[in-house]
Amino acid sequence: MTESGRELVPSTYNLRRLLKYRSKSEMLEMFDGQGQLVLIVAQFMIKLCSEDDPVIVLLKRLDHSAKLSWGYTHYSEEDRNLSIVFRSFMEDLQVFFKVPNSMSTLSPKELVAAFIDLLLEILQEILNLQPYFIHQVEDSIQSLKMELKFLLAFLGDTPSQPTDLETTKKILVDIEVVANETGSFLYSFFFSTNRISMSGMKQNLSDLLGNVELLKENIKKHCITVANILPSGVTPKTSVVILSLVDSILDYLNDLMNKKDNRIFNLKDQIRTIHQELMFLQSFLTDIEVEKYPELEEFFIRIIDIAYEVEYIINSFAPVWYLTLRIPQVMEKIQLVSTQFQEKKKMYGAGLQKNAEYQSQQVSLQAQRPHIGDGKIIGLEDVQYEIEGKLLGGTSTLQIISISGMPGLGKTTLAKNIYHDAFIRQHFDSCGWCVVSQTYQKRNMLIDILRSTSHLNTETILNMEDDDLSIELYNCLKGSRYIIFMDDIWNVNAWFDTRYCFPDDNCGSRILFTSQNANLGMIYSGINYPLRFLTDGECWDLLQFNVFNNEQCPPVMVDVAKKIARNCGGLPSTVVFVASVLKKLEKEISLWMDVAENITSYISRETNDYMNMLELSYNHLPMHLKPCFLYFGAYEKDKEIPVQKLIMLWAAEGFIRKVECRSSEDVAEQYLFGLINRSMILVSKRTSDGRIKACSVHGAMHDMCLRVAEQDNFMKVMKGLKLMKVLDLSITDMSLYNLTGSEVLTVLKFLSVSSIPSSIESFENLEFLFVDNKEVVEIPAIFLNMVKLRHVHFSGGAQFSESLRIQATKKLQYIFWDSSENCYRYPDFGFLDRLESLSLSFLPNYVSGDISREVIDLHWNLRKLTLRNFDLSWNQMNVIGMLPILEVLKLRDDTIEGKKWDTREDEFQGLRYSMLYKSNIGMPQVIIS
């Protein structure tokens, strides 16, 4: 119990603090760093044991003793008590150096994997600590570490569920035996309170590695007789990701074939064959709209399984002999599926037309598309006035005007109001209207327009041939001032297919589109009017009109009714749908309050039209944008999402296709623009130079996103971690080794953590690293070997170690130091030839002595530079001014000497934005936008 009477929570905070700050002479360990190893095992214990377990009770005592000992001198009574508890705790640790007997959430295989993960963490820490005796056995420990990595990879390549195969059972038992022998070795020599015997350590290591060799021989025989498969339930069963997944693996295989890697040299022909087979499947998937063919779902899932299997095996820490056995097995599977797909392709034909059932479904959905109401608009009056001004005035040439916005904002309602407006009817000789929809047909469009502009009767028009319809419409409009309304246009092809039917005789004719896609209205220098969301007050006015007509809302219901209006999110369609619900309810506060808090569920119960209307937007997305949109379902509703991190997550997940001469980030940004232009995503914040900094999803769209993601199984969590490409642990106090079911993260590309894990070298494919550190950290030298790492972000600051030279990280594009605690050592950045954005601060509180604050070298590819508290000389500013593509420059807290800044004509040629904050100088004598 603590002094306040409350139980201590299992923690190692005080012990960690004591071990860090006490001098070596006062340490408790038998060798320098032994306490760090104890901390690793203690964290594993906390994960594994209940709070009333005796060893956890002892850990609480140990950490509390460390707290009491803090600040006392060596040999004090508190220090002696700490030493006794520490040694007692060391003795009790022995039970944790074998595979745990049970853990409710893990299978036996996963328990072994979790334990091997712990062993690898300990071995890596031993190599990092470099105790005085380690040099005699370092090579053997490195070998043991590599062998354990392979065993972990093999465990990930075997079924998770119980198997009847005796050979597989025996292999798993043998792996557990080796893991326990390794645990016994580590405890005996690195967690002992006795003197270390080097001869005993060497002999024990030799015996252990010999046993591993025997185990590997058994694994070879197992691989020959049993075709391994990825564990059932590991791969996400959704066809939405299939195209991006195959694209991603093709890119990886292509890089692998061009790479000089001795490990896979003899396997390149087989890898090339896999690449060719996947290329065929990719072409098939590109031609076909996957979700339109539910009868092919089984084949799509098989492709997903094989693709993940290829990625896992090649990325694993497996030796060449294992790859030689496993790759042919995978190749056989993919060739079988490829053959079956060729038969399916013949069956569906080269055109792969959409089936009639799907088309009729889309037409049906479109016919059910609800409108906000005819005649009454609220909040759109100013837009209507402005649009009518453009239609009635302006150029005499044919002009296209569009109204855009997300579903439910009132595009069609506004267009109908304009269509029926008396001034419009008087001004134009002919007014035509057609509904285009997703599955538009040219013939139907022409018939609709002719029926509203021609004097021919309907029967005559319906009996015309397609070409005759085009000619008749052209002749009907020739020489007149006409206006054509094309409602709900999804694809520019609908316009291209009919544009020659609309003559341009300089009569002031107009075409008006309504569309979700803001880009469609910009063709032929058209004008686009994006609709805004209604204010809370406008929603309230619209709700009153639809619920009470010309009557007043009962005073007792006003507050709850206004809350309902606010919760409609500014969407007129939501207001109209909710109004239809309220009309059927008694005017009781409790009933209406329930509606206010559950608007989406009430609307869904009332009608499917609402969600169906939104789902039309998703159904019409290109395949490559669908997984990107569904990814927003992982965020909370109405949450502001940083675009930079979102784009990295998309890239890490493999959603971004490779485009020659363009970075994945640039392509991902285009994907984001595609979603924004289609009114699926909202821009919520922009950077100083006008780029999108943050985005969000409207609440209604988010509800639809979650619904579709659930239907398509998009959000299914993988069982185990082996196939995980994105892992965010920044909000937890969890280390990588004590994750439930943890396995080798061979394909991990994005990692967000609160501290840099010691096992980071294992993540050979890591590209994006976010560290949410609270204090300045030292960048580890292991970054030298992480050649794929290209974005590093430290929230609390970082500094380069004296010995670190990071030339090996050739692909590093971004280094960020945020917040008030930033780095204070500035290396030569010139070799970072792809660095685009850099933020640096000088904090004298962290520096002792007189240290230069000049940034000595910056590469010419830098686009954005932020400097704080540098006190730069004019010569240094001249160097910065010569950066040819620098677009954004921010200078904070007296970064420049003096009170006047004169620039030369040849400096800052590409600058688009500059900011001076808390500066004692005047504005530079240059024009800055």
Helix (H) or strand (E) holding 914: strand 913-917
Architecture of domain 536-606: Orthogonal Bundle (1.10)
Residue corresponding to tokens 């001014």: 881
Residue 353: Cβ-neighbour burial (10 angstroms; 0-12, 13-18, 19+): exposed
Residue 130 backbone zone (phi > 0: left; psi -120 to 50: alpha; other: beta): left
Determine the Cα–Cα distance for residues 178 and 216; give it in Å rounded to an integer. 11
Identify the band that residue 371 occupies on the pLDDT scale cut at 50, 70 and 90. Answer: very low
Predicted pLDDT of residue 846: 40
Average the pLDDT over each of 484-493, 615-624, 674-683, 740-749 and give the range with the smallest value.
740-749
* Token reading at 322: 């294992």
Predicted pLDDT of residue 537: 92
- Nearest CA to 614 out of 693, 673, 713, 702 is that of 702
For residues 264-280, one letter each, b for 16 or more C-beta atoms within 10 angstroms of the residue's C-beta and e for the rest, the string is beebeebbeebbebbee
Instruction: Tell me which DSSP letter residue 400 carries.
Output: E
Beta bridge partners of 770: 752, 793
Read off the amino acid at residue 138.
Answer: E
Mean pLDDT of the chain: 76
For residues 369-389, one letter each, b for 16 or more C-beta atoms within 10 angstroms of the residue's C-beta and e for the rest, the string is bbebbeeebbbbeebbeebbe
* Cβ contact 676:695 at 8 Å: yes
Other Cβ atoms less than 10 A from the Cβ of 412: the count is: 21
* Token reading at 391: 């239609």
pLDDT 10s digits, 505-520: 999 999 999 998 888 7
Predicted pLDDT of residue 162: 46
Determine the Cα–Cα distance for residues 231 and 155; give it in Å rounded to an integer. 10
pLDDT higher for 355 or 273? Answer: 273
- Nearest CA to 687 out of 888, 510, 903, 916 is that of 888
Identify the band that residue 429 occupies on the pLDDT scale cut at 50, 70 and 90. Answer: very high
Beta bridge partners of 750: 726, 768
CA distances from 680 to 244, 383, 567, 608, 697 (A): 20, 21, 19, 19, 7
Count of alpha carbons within 13 angstroms of residue 558, beta-carbon side: 8
The contacts of residue 113 (CB under 8 Å, 6+ apart) are 152, 155, 156, 741, 742, 743
Predicted pLDDT of residue 281: 76
Predicted pLDDT of residue 365: 38
Determine the Cα–Cα distance for residues 746 and 720; give it in Å rounded to an integer. 12
pLDDT over 70 percentage in the chain: 73
Helix (H) or strand (E) holding 868: strand 864-868
pLDDT higher for 829 or 890? Answer: 890
Other Cβ atoms less than 10 A from the Cβ of 780: the count is: 15
Beta bridge partners of 814: 791, 837
Instruction: Tell me which DSSP letter residue 872 carries.
Output: B
Q: In what order do the strands lie in the sheet with 482-489?
A: 430-437, 482-489, 510-515, 399-404, 527-530
Look at the alpha carbons of 143, 145, 149, 151 in this order and tell me if their dihedral is positive or negative: positive
Helix (H) or strand (E) holding 415: helix 411-420
Give the distance, in angstroms, between the CA of residue 627 and the centroid of all CA atoms in the same chain: 10
* Cβ contact 18:66 at 8 Å: yes
Predicted pLDDT of residue 367: 43
Identify the band that residue 420 occupies on the pLDDT scale cut at 50, 70 and 90. Answer: very high
- pTM, whole model, 2 decimals? 0.67
Domain 365-369+376-530, CATH? 3.40.50.300
* Token reading at 881: 């001014």
* Token reading at 1: 């119990």
Whether 450 shows a pLDDT value over 80: the answer reads yes
* Token reading at 268: 């390149």
Helix (H) or strand (E) holding 120: helix 108-129
The contacts of residue 419 (CB under 8 Å, 6+ apart) are 431, 433, 485
* Whether CATH 3.30.70.270 fits 621-711: no
Write phi, then psi, for 97 (nearest 5 degrees): -100, 35
Write phi, then psi, for 925 (nearest 5 degrees): -85, 55
CA distances from 404 to 149, 414, 515, 685 (A): 55, 11, 5, 20
pLDDT over 90 percentage in the chain: 15
Determine the Cα–Cα distance for residues 239 and 902; give it in Å rounded to an integer. 60
Read off the amino acid at residue 604.
Answer: S
CA distances from 70 to 16, 74, 80 (A): 11, 10, 12
Residue corresponding to tokens 């016994």: 184
Average the pLDDT over each of 669-683, 741-755, 822-836 and give the range with the smallest value.
822-836
pLDDT 10s digits, 556-603: 999 999 999 998 889 898 898 888 888 888 888 888 999 888 887 777
Other Cβ atoms less than 10 A from the Cβ of 228: the count is: 18
Identify the band that residue 197 occupies on the pLDDT scale cut at 50, 70 and 90. Answer: confident
How much of the chain is helix, strand and coil, in % rounded to 5? 50, 10, 40
Predicted pLDDT of residue 354: 37
- Nearest CA to 414 out of 452, 440, 388 is that of 388
- Nearest CA to 644 out of 696, 697, 693 is that of 693
pLDDT 10s digits, 36-92: 788 888 877 777 777 777 778 878 887 777 777 766 555 667 777 777 877 787 787
Identify the band that residue 303 occupies on the pLDDT scale cut at 50, 70 and 90. Answer: confident
Helix (H) or strand (E) holding 645: helix 643-653
Alpha helices (H) in 23-105, listed in sequence order: 34-48, 54-69, 77-92
3-state secondary structure of 231: coil
- Based on its alpha-carbon atoms, the radius of gyration of the chain, rounded to whole angstroms, reads 34
| CA end-to-end span of the chain | 64
Parse the chain into domains and list their residue ranges. Answer: 13-225, 239-348, 365-369+376-530, 536-606, 621-711, 726-917
* Whether CATH 3.80.10.10 fits 726-917: yes
- Nearest CA to 108 out of 45, 187, 171 is that of 171
- Nearest CA to 811 out of 769, 778, 757 is that of 769
CA distances from 783 to 504, 743, 809, 836 (A): 64, 22, 7, 19
pLDDT 10s digits, 531-560: 999 999 999 999 998 898 878 888 899 999
Write phi, then psi, for 896 (nearest 5 degrees): -115, 140
